[in-house]
Chain A
Amino acid sequence: MTLRDLLQRDRARRTTLVTGQVTPEAGRCVQCGICTYYCPINIDVRRHAWLGEPVQESHCLTCGECVARCPRGVLHFERIELFQP
C-alpha cells in the first residue's frame, strides 16, 4: 500500500465518521452491552439497539468504537445529509 493509498483510506474513514450516525439493526442484537461498555462518553448505545433507533445524541463523537467492538455486526454507520451541499 502506497502513502497515497493510506491517506485516501484515512480520508474515507474520516468522511464516514463525520457524515454518519450509528444505526443499529435490532434483530441482530443480544444486548450483551459491549457497545455501551466501550462508549468513551457513556452513551447507552445498547438502549438504542433495543429500540432500533439510531444514535442521534449530539454528544456522540461518531468515534466508531461501538461499531468496531460489536461482536455481532449490529451497528453500522448510516450516512446523514447534515453536511451535504
Chain B
Amino acid sequence: MSTRYVIVGQGVAGIAAAEAIRAADAGGHITLLSDDPHGYYSRPGLAYYLTGEISRAHLFPWREAEFTHLRLQRVQGQASVLDPAGHRLLLSNGATLPYDRLLLATGSAALRPTLPGIDLPQVVTLDNLADAERILGLARKAHSAVVVGGGITALEIVEGLREHCRRVHYLLRGERYWGNVLDEAEGRIVLDRLAADGVQVHTHSELAAIEAKRGRVASILTASGKRVPCDLVAMAIGVAPRAELARAAGLQVDRGVLVDEFLRSSAPDIYAAGDVAQVYDVRAGKALLDTLWTAARSHGDAAGQNMAGGSLRYVKPTPLNVTRLAGITTTIIGSVGFGRDADLVGIARGDSELWRQLGQALVAEDEHEVNRLRLLVGPTTLIGAVLMGDQRLSRPLQRLISEQTDITSIRAQLLAPNAPLAALLTRLTEGFR
C-alpha cells in the first residue's frame, strides 16, 4: 500500500515538501490541503501587486501542468481537529483525511491589537491575496489612509497605498523605524525617503482608537490626543504562527510548533515547516522563528525528504533577506541588532529572530546619500551586515558571512575611522562570482 502524505498549507513550505516527497516516493499519495481559495502564489509578490508592478496573474508561479506532474490531490478546506493517535485529520466540512505522515505548514497570521474600532470593515492586515485585493479595493476609493506598525510589511502597505491614495500617514510609536534590526542612520534614511515621497510620518504616535462615522472608519486618535482623518487603517504589528491545530492536538508548542533538526514535531509522523515551525538553531542554542520565504522553502524541502524516509538534518543557513524599504533595496544578513521594537509584537513577516541575536561585535559604517553599508565585525569574521542602496556587495557579503570567511587580514583597516569599506571588501572578494 502506498504511503499517505497530508500537507496542511499550500504556501511555499507545503509546495517544497510536496516536490521533495514526490522526488523520493513515486508511488505515494500526496494530499495538499489549503484554506486559502487561491492556492499557491508568491506571498512576497503581493507587495509588487499592491504597487501595480505586476499583474494578479503573475502572482501564481505554477501552471496546472506542474501540479499534474507531481500528481497532487489538492483539497480546499479548513482543518479542524488533528488526531495524532488515530493518524487522521478532520476537516470542518466533516471529511476525514487519514495519513501516514503529516506536515503542518499553516504559516502565520497578522496580529491585531485590542482597541476601539479594530473590527471596523476598513481596518485591514496583509496576510494573503484576499487581503491584498481588499486593500486595493478600499485604497482606490480612499482619500486618506493610516498605516500602523513596523518591519517590512508596514512599508509594503505604505508603498502600495501611496500609489492609490492621496494621503498616506505612517504612525510610529517611537522615534525610529525597525529599531532592533536597523540602526538609527538606516532608520532615518527610510523615514526621510518616505517623507520625500509624500508620506506623512508621525513619530511618537501610538494608536489609541479608530473612530467611525456611520459605521465606516473616519479617523484615528493617538494616545497623545492627535486626530488624523482617514478612510482606511492598515495594521502591520507582527505575525504569530498559526499553531492552534497543533496546540489543540497536544503537540509541543512554544510560539511556534517546536521541531527538531529533522523538522519532526513532538508527535509521531507529524512534521512542521515554514512560519509555523520553531526550529532549533545550533548557533543560538535555542529554537527560533523565521518568517523568511526562502527559509520556508528549505524547511519544506527537508521535511518532505524526511517524511519520505530520508534523514536530512536541517541546519539554519545565515538568515538573509533582500527587500525594498521605502524604495531602497536593502540586504540584511546575519546578526545585526538586538532588543525589542516598540512597533512590533514578536516577529514581522520576512523576518528572522537570528537577526536580533547580536552579541559582541564592533561596527564599521560607510554612508553616501542613500547608499549605506554597516558591518558587524567579530574577532575573526563578519557577523552580519546591512547594505542599503547599491547592491554590488550583496552577494559577496552573503558569502563572507555565511561561509564565516576569515577577515583578519583586513579587520583593522575595516575598523579604522572613515575606512573605505566597499573598496576593502571588493578587494577581499574579487574571486567571488
Contacts and interface: CB of A to CB of B under 8 A. Distances in A.
B54 A31 contact: no
Interface residues of A, number: 19
Interface in A18-35: 25, 27-34
A29 B61 CA distance: 12
A47 to B, nearest CB: 7
A71 B324 contact: yes
B42 interface: yes
Given A28-B322, A71-B324, A73-B395, A36 B293 contact: no
Given A28-B320, A32-B54, A33-B61, A73 B42 contact: no
Contacts of B45: 30-34
Q: Which of B60, B61, B294, B391 has the most CB of A within 10 A?
A: B61
A25 B331 CA distance: 15
By DSSP majority rule, is chain B's interface helix, strand, loop, or mixed? mixed
A47 B61 contact: yes
Contacts of A50: 61
Interface of B: 12, 42-45, 47-48, 53-55, 58-61, 293-294, 317, 320, 322-324, 329, 331, 391, 394-395, 433
A49 B92 CA distance: 37
A78 B395 CA distance: 14
A14 interface: no
A9 interface: no
B228 to A, nearest CB: 31
Interface of A: 25, 27-34, 36-37, 46-47, 50, 71-73, 76, 78
B58 A33 contact: yes
B53 A31 contact: no
B61 A34 contact: no
18 contacts: A28-B294, A30-B42, A30-B43, A30-B294, A31-B12, A31-B42, A31-B44, A31-B61, A31-B293, A32-B42, A32-B45, A33-B48, A34-B45, A34-B53, A36-B58, A72-B323, A73-B322, A78-B433
Q: Which of B55, B58, B323, B329 has the most CB of A within 10 A?
A: B58
A71 B391 CA distance: 10
B320 A37 contact: no
Contact of A37 (B55, B317, B394, B433): B55
Given A28-B294, A28-B320, A30-B294, 13 more contacts: A27-B317, A27-B320, A28-B322, A30-B44, A31-B42, A31-B45, A31-B61, A33-B48, A33-B61, A37-B54, A37-B55, A71-B323, A73-B322
A80 B55 CA distance: 33
A30 B43 CA distance: 8
A28 B322 CA distance: 8
A47 B65 CA distance: 13
B54 A34 contact: yes
A73 B433 CA distance: 13
